[in-house]
Amino acid sequence: MTSDPDSRGWRRPPADTGQRRADAALAAALFGAAILSLVLGRAIGIYEDPASPAVSAAVLAGMTLPLAWRRVAPVPVLGIVTVAFVLLAELSVPELTVANIAMFMALYGVGAWERDRRRALWARVVVVTAMGVWLLVAFFRASTEDLGIDGPGIGVLTPVAAFMLQQLLINVLYFAGAWWFGDHAWASARQRALTALRSRQLEEEQAKVARQAITIERLRIARELHDAVAHHVSLMGVQAGAARAVLDADPAAARQQLESLEATSRAAVGELYNLLGTLRDEEQPEGEVDAATATLGLEHLDALVGDANAAGLRVTRQVVGEPFPVPALVGLNLYRIAQEALTNVRKHAGQGTAARVHLRYGPDSVELEIVDDGLGRPGPPQRGGGLGLLGMRERAAALGGTVDAGPRSDSGWVVRVTVPATASRPVGQRSAA
């Protein structure tokens, strides 16, 4: 047994307490209606020699009261009702209307509620076959009796034959209807279960997507914090150390370093406030960048180079090719990659390291390259979070680009990021490229 409606082994859930109570009330009501119909039938005189009232009431009780369990044990209920139905006709119980309703409900209940579908099929096959044989026997007996039918007939079709064909048609429609409606109820219950399952799966998928979106946003914020704040804090440490080193020998130089430290700290606080401000903004469309960080781009590389030189590096910048405007997201990501690369040079190669920032505009790509000679004066080893290169690759991948980072053959380190021109050029310039 399985609860998956897509599986062939699916079983309909059993009837609940409310359904069982409703069935019990319905069975009692049908029994009352059958007794009333019995009284009226005896008054009409349907049969010349009807069964006694006690026998008739017992047969009608067997026809109707078992329906209280039609959802719990549909096959046994069908068996009891079928036997009672045959007894009702053989004993000449003067009640036909409620008995037919009860028989229909019992056959319908097997199709709608029997959880073992093979058992449901064979139970109905046996009952319908037995009822068909019984009906043929009844036709044979009727053909030897005078039914008092004096119709004109149709050609060679006698009134008695016409009456039998009519009864046959009624019974075929009766049993076929009960069979079809029962199977249809089962299929409807399965479809409802499938709809409920799909709804639960959709809710779970939506919750999963929401959790993934939160995780992605947390990673984006962590990456921005790492690239922005870590850069400034590292630079502040270098500037503070430089100011301390020359404080006694050259107060003017120390003052200059402290002023640079103040400017760097203000820049760090400003970027931090801008970044935290994005947490209160509405979600940005995919592929766009919020206004708080869109102010950073390739035009700020000169300031970034200046900060690196103030921190003790020897950095130069060179632009190759004809510059063209790039989208805000492209400019921000390339700026952050350059910032992280220079921060790594300062942390690992130390002061005095010579570095070059190359920005190349080509017909098919925009390339940013940061190269250092590794010949500085390394300071004490610094622990890192290991997110620098990962962040670079994530930013490049967001633009459809690639990052190559590794040691040079002689000395130093190189970081090279290439972004396709189709991801950089404005729409109006792509065709010209």
The CATH number that applies at residue 410 is 3.30.565.10
Burial of 297: CB neighbours in 10 Å, binned 0-12, 13-18, 19+: buried
Burial (CB count within 10 angstroms: exposed 0-12, middle 13-18, buried 19+), residue 410: exposed
CB neighbours of residue 170 within 10 Å: 11
pLDDT of 35 = 93
222 versus 35: the higher-pLDDT residue is 35
Q: How far apart are CA 122 and CA 212, in angstroms?
A: 51
Residue 23 in any domain: the answer is yes
* One domain for residues 330 and 200: no
Would residue 82 count as lying in a domain? Answer: yes
Looking at residue 351, its pLDDT comes to 79
The alpha carbon dihedral of 74, 75, 80, 82 has a sign of positive
426 pLDDT tier (thresholds 50, 70, 90): very low
What is the reported pLDDT for 25? 95
Residue 117 has pLDDT above 60, yes or no: yes
**CA geometry: angle 99, 105, 111, nearest 5 deg:** 145
Mean pLDDT within 97-104: 92
6 pLDDT more than 70: no
The answer on 305 and 169 residing in a single domain is no
Using CA atoms, how far apart are residues 78 and 179, in angstroms rounded to an integer? 12
Tell me if 8 is assigned to some domain: no
Q: What mean pLDDT is predicted for residues 273-288?
A: 54
End residue of a domain, out of 170, 190, 205: 205
**Is the pLDDT confidence value at 390 over 50?**
yes
Q: What is the pTM of this model?
A: 0.53
Establish if 280 belongs to a structural domain.
no
Q: What are phi and psi of 348, to 5 degrees?
A: -100, -35
> What's the pLDDT band for 109 if we cut at 50, 70, 90?
very high
Given a contact cutoff of 8 angstroms between Cβ atoms, the answer to whether 420 and 401 are in contact is: yes
Average pLDDT over residues 48-75: 91
The predicted pLDDT at position 43 comes to 85
* Beta bridge partners of residue 407, listed in sequence order: 413
Co-location of 70 and 196 in the same domain? yes
Domain membership of residue 256 (yes or no) is: no
**111-120, 233-242, 358-367, range with the lowest pLDDT:** 233-242
pLDDT > 90? residue 107: yes
CA distance linking residue 218 with residue 223, whole number of Å? 9
Q: Look at residue 374 and tell me whether its pLDDT is greater than 80.
A: yes
Q: How many CB atoms lie within 10 A of CB 429?
A: 12
**Cβ-based neighbours of 284, under 8 Å, separated by 6 or more:** 290
**Judgement on whether residues 176 and 314 belong to the same structural domain of the protein:** no
Residue whose tokens read 């620098």: 388
In a domain, 230, yes or no: no
Predicted confidence at residue 358, as pLDDT, reads: 92
Bridge partners (DSSP) of residue 300 are none
Give the 3-state DSSP-derived string for the chain, with helices as H, strands as E and coil as C.
Answer: CECCCCCCCECCCCCCHHHHHHHHHHHHHHHHHHHHHHHHHHHHCCCCCCCCHHHHHHHHHHHHHHHHHCCCCHHHHHHHHHHHHHHHHHCCCCCCHHHHHHHHHHHHHHHHHCCCHHHHHHHHHHHHHHHHHHHHHHHHHHHCCCCCCCCCCECCECHHHHHHHHHHHHHHHHHHHHHHHHHHHHHHHHHHHHHHHHHHHHHHHHHHHHHHHHHHHHHHHHHHHHHHHHHHHHHHHHHHHHHHHHCCCCHHHHHHHHHHHHHHHHHHHHHHHHHHHHHHCCCCCCCCCCHHHHCCCHHHHHHHHHHHHHCCCEEEEEEECCCCCCCHHHHHHHHHHHHHHHHHHHHHHCECCEEEEEEEECCCEEEEEEEECCCCECCCCCCCCCCHHHHHHHHHHHCCCEEEEEECCCCCEEEEEEEEHHHCCCHHHHCCC
How many residues are there in the chain? 433
Q: What digits encode the pLDDT tens for the residues 37-47?
A: 999 988 888 77
Specify if 132 maps to a domain.
yes
How many Å apart are CA 175 and CA 177, to the nearest integer?
5
Domain assignment present for 142: yes
Look at residue 158 and tell me whether its pLDDT is greater than 80. Answer: no
pLDDT band at 432 (very low <50, low <70, confident <90, very high): very low
pLDDT at 315 over 60: yes
pLDDT the model gives residue 103: 92
Give the structural domain span for 330: 296-433
Which pLDDT does position 101 carry in this prediction? Answer: 93
Question: Given this model, what pLDDT does residue 428 score?
Answer: 42
Residues 199 and 324 in one domain: no
Domain endpoint, select from 176, 205, 234: 205
- At 66 the pLDDT is 95
- pLDDT bin (cut points 50, 70, 90) of residue 149 is low
CB 335 within 8 A of CB 391: no
Work out the mean pLDDT of the chain and round it to a whole number.
79
Q: Is pLDDT at 76 greater than 50 in this prediction? A: yes
* Domain limit, last residue, from 205, 224, 246: 205
Between 238 and 194, residue with greater pLDDT: 194
Provide mean pLDDT across the span 198-214.
84
**Residue whose entry in the numeric block shows the structure tokens 């799909």:** 198
Q: Is the pLDDT of residue 148 over 60?
A: no
**pLDDT category of residue 160 using cuts at 50, 70 and 90:** low
Is pLDDT of 106 > 60? yes
**Most confident of the ranges 55-69, 212-226, 306-320, 326-340:** 55-69
Query: Both 167 and 68 in a single domain?
Result: yes
Domain count of the fold of the chain = 2
Same domain, 315 and 415: yes
Residue 168 and residue 315 share a domain: no
Q: Read off the pLDDT band of 292 (50, 70, 90).
A: very low
pLDDT level of residue 369 (50, 70, 90 thresholds): very high
